[in-house]
Structure 1
C-alpha cells in the first residue's frame, strides 16, 4: 500500500506510557532487518521509538476517550444500530437517526479519527520496516480503524491509488485490508514461531492484550472473518475463501480472548451515565423484554422514574423535549467508570461461524444449530447471565409491543417481528437468517457499529420507524455523507468518489456489500 501523504502533526496527549517516547533511534532499520531474529534489546528499541504512536493508533481503533467515543461511536453506530438513542434535547432536531446530522458531526470521523490513524501509522512506517513487529501490529490497528470508517462512508482515500488523495472503492478497501492482515499475520506468526510459541512486547502501550501477540493473531483472524461475513452476499466466492482461511488459522473462541480495551473513564459510561446524553433504544428493549432475556439488566439500568417495567427504551429519532425528564424516563447503560470497552467477542465470532455454516462454508467447527447455541452461551457467560438453557429452548416468546414511558417522547408502537428464540431446522431460509441475526445483534451490544452493519446487511432485526418525520423512505441510514469540505478541498477526487459510491452522496445510497 502506498503511503498516504495527508500527514498531520499531532501530539499524543494525556497518555502516560512508561519508557516510551516519539524520538527516532539511529540504526533502527538495521535492528529490523528482514529475516533476522530480533533480540530483546533490539525489540525494546523498537518499542521505545514507536510505542507512543501505537497508543495513538489503539485509541482510534477502539475509541473510548469521551469525545472520540461520542463522535465516532455513540452518535453514529450506537444510535443507528438501535442499541442506544439520544436523551439530550439539544440533539433532537438534527441527528443521524433523522438523517440530517450537523455537518460537523458528519465530517468528524473522517477529519479527526482518520487523520490521527494515518499520521500515527505513517510515523510507524517511517521508523520501521515492513517485516518488523511494530509495522505488523500497526497494520492490524489500521485495518480495524479503516473498516469502521469505510462502513460509515463507503469509499475512502486510504492511499491505495496513484494519487494519495484519491478515494478507493469499498471493494478495494476490503480486499486491501485483508491483504494487510495477511501480511501482518505472516510477520507475527513467524516471530511467535521463532520465540517458541509466544511473543509479548509493547506491554505498556497495549491496553487491549497487554502485549500478548498470540492474542493479536486471533484478533486479526477474527477481523478477517467479520469482513468475510460482511461480504458474503456481494462476493460469495471470495468471502468463503477469506472466512474459511480465518477460521482455519484460529479466530477468537473464548471470552478470555475478547477484544476489550482498558480506558478510564469508559466512553459509554461518560456519555450515558455521567453526561446523560444517551439512553437505551426502544428496539433492543422490545426484543430483550419480549424474550425475558436475563442479559437486559446487565446491559441497562432500571429507570429512575417509576414505570410499568424496570428497563424502558426510547424510540430512535424521538422529539426529546427535556434532557432531565428523558434521563429519568428511560434506562441508562449499566456500566462502570472503569469497565473495559468491548469491541469484538467470542460470541460474535461463533455467530459468524454459524452463518458460515448456513452458507455451506467448510471448517466452521459445527453445524448451524450447534454454533448458534454455543454463541448464545458464550454471550451469557460474557455477561454473567443465568438460565441460558431455558432461553435456548424458548419457542414461544416474541419481541414485545413497545409501550412508551408515561409522558414519554417517542410514542408507542407494535412489535416489528414475531421471531422466536429456539433454533428450528425446518424453518425457511429467511426465518433461519432472521433468528440467527436477531440473536447475534443482541449479543453484539455494546458495539452499535456492528449492530448497524447487521441491520443494513441483512434487514434484521426489523426495527421501529423513526419517531420523527425524515426526508427519506428508509428507517436506518445506509451510510453517512462524505466530509462536506471535500467538494471544495478535493473536488476532482470527490466527484470520482461519488462515482465509486454508485449513487448520491446522501444517507440512502447503499454500501457495496448491501445485497
Structure 2
C-alpha cells in the first residue's frame, strides 16, 4: 500500500440490524457465488442448499481477511497489529512519520478494522444463515458455521477483550457487550454443539456431504471439521489456564479425549483456506507495496538456532547480502528506501508466498505443542509425555517445510545454539542483546517455566506467519521473550517492558454505541480502555 488510508466503518449498532434488513453486502456476495444470471429465487436455490451454503466462501475467507482480495483491509486488521506485536514482522515504512502502532501511538483508523470486518463479514452472514433456518434444515452446515464463528471471533475478543456476542442480532439500536469470560464460555458450548452435530450426522449419513462445493478448507470432509473443532477447543482451553485452571483442564481434556473425534495430527490436517479466487494478502504487501519485512525477533531466534525453516520463511537481505536482517519494533524507520532491502517474507528465493498460496489458520504442529503444555500441567488424554509431544511438534513443523529426516534429528539434538543479539547496521540505537539463552534440545531436568518457554518458543516459530495467534500466546505466557519497542509513544498508557496487551475499542463505538461501550470498559481489568490493560485471560 502506497499510503495508509483511514476508513470509516458502519457502527456495530447498525451492523446488528443488517441480518434483519436483508444484509446488503452478504446478499450481494451470495448472488455473486450462486447466481447463474437467470434470476433464480432463494426457493429455487434450496434443493442443493445454495441458499445457505452460498455464504460460506465469504465467511471462510474473511477470518484472515482477504475477502474479495481486499489486501488493504488485511493490512489494517492483522499485518500492522498482530503480525508486528507477535515479533514476526515489521514494516520498512515510516507510516505517519513513525507515529503509529509500531511505536505504540495507536491509530484508531487502523485498529477498528479487526472489529468491523469480523462483524460485517462473519457475524452478519452467520446471522443470516441462522435466519434462513440452517439449524433445522441443514444442521451440519450450522455446525460448520459455529466452528467458523468461534475461529473468527476468538481473534476479536483476544484483541479487544469484551465484545458483543450473545446479543448479536437481537435488534434495537445498541449492542450489549459480554465479558471475555462469558464469551469464552459460549465458545466452548458452541464447539461442543458443533462437534456433536457433525458426529451424529456422520454416523447417520456416512460418506454424504452436501457442503463440499462450499468448503474452502476440507472439501466437505466432516470428520476433518470435527478435528478442527476439537483442536480449536484445545487452543482456547489452554488460553484460559491462568484465569480459570479448572475450566481449562476440563475443556482441554474433552478436546483431547479420543472418543470425541480426534485432533489435527498430520500436515494433511492443517486448516488452510483456498479456492474461489482467494489470494494471499501478504504477497501483495511484500511485492507490490514493499510494506513488510522480517522482525528483529525472528532474526534473533531463527538465525541463532540455525533453523531449517529460515529460508522457507524469509529471503536474504538484498541490502546486506548473505545475511538475514530484521527490523526492531519501535525503530524510527526512515522513509523509503531507507530500510528497504532488509529481509522480507520468502517471495523470491523459495517462493513460499505466492498470489495463490493457501491461507493457514491452524497447523497440526500447534496442536502437539498445546498437548505438550497440557501434559506438562498434568492434564489427562494428552497422549504422550511433554518431551514426546514437544519433539513431535517440532518434527511436524519442520516436515511441513520439507526438512530432511537428518535435519530434524540434528535440530532436536542441538543443545548449543541460542538466540543471537540484534544489530541494526543502520542505527546502533536499535541494537539489543538477546532476550534469552533458551536452546532447542529438551532437558527433562529443567524447571517448569524453562520447559514451558521451550515449548512456546518452538510453537511461536511453527506458527509463522499467523501473527494474531502468536501475539495472543505471547501475552498469555510471556514467551518467546521478545524485544521491547525502541521508542514508546503511548504517553505512559503501555509499559515498555510489559509490552502492548490489547487494542482500545473503536471510536465509532463511542459515537454510536456509547452506553454499551462504557459498560464494557467496566468489564476490563483496570476499567481503562487502554493498550496497556490486560485481558481476562492475560494474568502476570
Using structure 1 for the length normalisation, give the TM-score. Answer: 0.91
Q: Following superposition of structure 1 onto structure 2, how do residues 116-155 of structure 1 map, counting pairs within 5 Å?
A: 116-131=121-136, 132-155=139-162
Give runs of aligned pairs for residues 63-462 of structure 1, distance below 5 A.
63-64=65-66, 65=69, 66-90=71-95, 93-131=98-136, 132-160=139-167, 165-196=175-206, 198-248=207-257, 249=260, 250-262=262-274, 264-307=278-321, 309-334=322-347, 335-386=353-404, 387-404=407-424, 406-407=425-426, 411-462=430-481
What is the DSSP-based 3-state SS (H/G/I as helix, E as strand, rest coil) of the residue aligned with 2:212?
coil
Residues 76-85 or 101-110, more deviating: 101-110
Q: Distance in 1 between matches of 2:357 and 2:429?
A: 30
- Are 2:16 and 1:5 aligned? yes
Distance in 1 between the 2:502 and 2:315 partners?
A: 30
Cα distance in 2 between the residues matched to 1:128 and 1:368? 45
Contact 1:63 1:72 in 2 (8 A): yes
Q: Is the 1:244–1:361 contact (alpha carbons within 8 Å) kept by the matching residues of 2?
A: yes
Distance across 1 between alignment mates of 2:515 and 2:243: 28
Does the residue aligned with 2:361 lie in a helix, a strand or coil?
Answer: strand
Q: Compared with structure 1, are the counterparts of its residues 312 and 56 closer, same or farther at alpha carbon in structure 2 (3 Å cutoff)?
A: same
What value does the CA root-mean-square deviation take over the aligned residues? 2.3
Paired with 2:413 and 2:189, the residues of 1 have a C-alpha distance of: 41
| SS of residue matched to 1:329 | coil
In structure 2, relative to structure 1, the CA distance for the partners of 1:441 and 1:199 (3 Å cut) is farther
3-state DSSP class of the match of 1:342?
Answer: strand
CA-CA distance at 1:315 after TM superposition:
0.4
Aligned runs of 1:27-66 on 2, under 5 Å?
Answer: 45-46=48-49, 48-64=50-66, 65=69, 66=71
Check 1:218–1:199 CA distance in 2 against 1; reply closer, same or farther (3 A cut): farther
Q: Does residue 495 in structure 1 map to residue 518 in structure 2?
A: yes
- 8 Å contact kept, 1:294–1:385: yes
How far residue 111 of structure 1 moved from its aligned partner, in angstroms, is 2.2
Distance change in 2, residues 1:409/1:316 (3 Å) = farther
Structure 1, residues 107-154: CA drift from partner, whole Å, max 9, x if none?
112123322212101110011242422222111111111101000000
Question: 1:157, 1:168 within 8 Å by CA — same for their partners in 2?
Answer: yes
Q: Deviations over 1:321-369 (max 9, x none)?
A: 1233322133334422221111101100000000000110001110000
Unaligned runs of 5+ in 2: 1-14, 348-352
Question: Is the partner of 1:243 in helix, strand or coil?
Answer: helix
Q: Helix, strand or coil: the match of 1:305?
A: coil
**CA displacement at 1:55 relative to structure 2:** 1.4
Q: Is the 8 A contact 1:348 1:444 kept in 2?
A: yes
Once residues 74 and 336 of structure 2 are traced to their aligned partners in structure 1, the CA distance between those partners, rounded to angstroms, is 20
Please tell me whether residue 478 in structure 1 is matched to residue 501 in structure 2: yes
Between the two proteins, the alignment pairs up a number of residues equal to 494
- 1:24–1:127 CA contact under 8 A, matched in 2: no
Match of 2:9 in 1: none
Q: What CA distance in whole angstroms lies between the structure 1 residues aligned with 2:307 and 2:151?
A: 30
Aligned residue among 506, 512, 532 for 1:508 = 532
Shift of 1:372: 0.3
Native 8 Å contact 2:30 2:55 kept in 1? no
Q: Secondary structure at the match of 1:260?
A: strand
CA distance in 1, matches of 2:104, 2:503: 8
Supply the distance in 2 between the matched residues of 1:55 and 1:489 (Cα, whole angstroms).
30
Are the structure 2 counterparts of residues 160 and 176 from structure 1 closer, same or farther at C-alpha, using a change threshold of 3 Å? farther
- Residues of 1 paired with 2:501 and 2:417: CA distance? 30
| Cα distance in 2 for residues equivalent to 1:113 and 1:227 | 18
Listed as ranges, the gaps of 5+ residues in structure 1 are 29-41
1:31 alignment counterpart:
none
Deviation at 1:200, TM superposition (A): 2.8
Q: CA deviation at 1:389?
A: 0.6
SS of the residue 1:130 aligns to = helix
The alignment's TM-score, normalised by the length of structure 2, stands at 0.86
